[in-house]
């Protein structure tokens, strides 16, 4: 584990009831690296949406999947890596929809793309699954 940059790694099961604990760590990590409250809320929302997508779309609501969230930071950015062990996702299918059409759902990817400065799937990790990375720049 890279002890200079990694703040903490979380690992939890793909259950909606686990998201609150995850969010509180994200919020604290954002505070620690000096993001303001608004930025911290943005980061919390985006990581939460990414984990919801893993629960819904990667694990198809199966509650026994494992989700790992790694939080790292350097001078420039707060970085999140979300790992699952589900079949590989077609990243082309993860796109945001036309928001002018009012309907429930289909907001997560839009939230993530709007709130984060960088995001995308990385190469499939060893051991399979998916690895999604998000960055929020730290602007002084």
Q: Which residues bind to a copy of itself, rule: CB under 8 A?
A: 1, 3, 6-13, 15, 18, 20-22, 24-25, 27-29, 32, 63-64, 66, 71
Considering the complex, state which of residue 25 and residue 52 has its C-beta at the smaller distance from a copy of itself.
25
- Residue 19 interacts with another protein (CB under 8 A): yes or no: yes
What is the spatial distance between Cα 131 and Cα 88, in angstroms, rounded to a whole number?
9
- Residue 57 interacts with another protein (CB under 8 A): yes or no: no
Considering the complex, state which of residue 17 and residue 93 has its C-beta at the smaller distance from a copy of itself.
17
Tell me whether residue 136 is exposed, middle or buried, using C-beta atoms within 10 angstroms of its C-beta: 0 to 12, 13 to 18, 19 or more. buried
Instruction: Name the residues that contact another protein, by CB under 8 A.
Output: 16-17, 19-20, 23, 38, 41, 44-45, 48-49, 52, 55, 99-100, 102-105, 107-108, 110-111, 114-115
């Amino acid at each position: 584990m890279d002890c200079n940059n990694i703040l903490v790694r979380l690992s939890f099961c793909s259950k909606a009831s686990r998201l609150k604990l995850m969010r509180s760590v994200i919020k604290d990590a954002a505070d620690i690296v000096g993001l303001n409250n608004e930025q911290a809320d943005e980061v919390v929302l985006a990581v939460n949406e990414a984990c919801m997508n893993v629960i819904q779309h990667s694990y198809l609501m199966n509650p026994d999947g494992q989700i790992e969230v790694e939080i790292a930071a350097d001078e420039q950015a707060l970085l999140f890596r979300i790992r699952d062990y589900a079949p590989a996702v077609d990243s082309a299918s993860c796109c945001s929809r036309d928001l002018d059409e009012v309907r429930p759902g289909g907001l997560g990817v839009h939230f993530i793309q709007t709130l984060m400065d960088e995001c995308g799937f990385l190469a499939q990790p060893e051991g399979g699954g998916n690895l999604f990375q998000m960055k929020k720049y730290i602007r002084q």
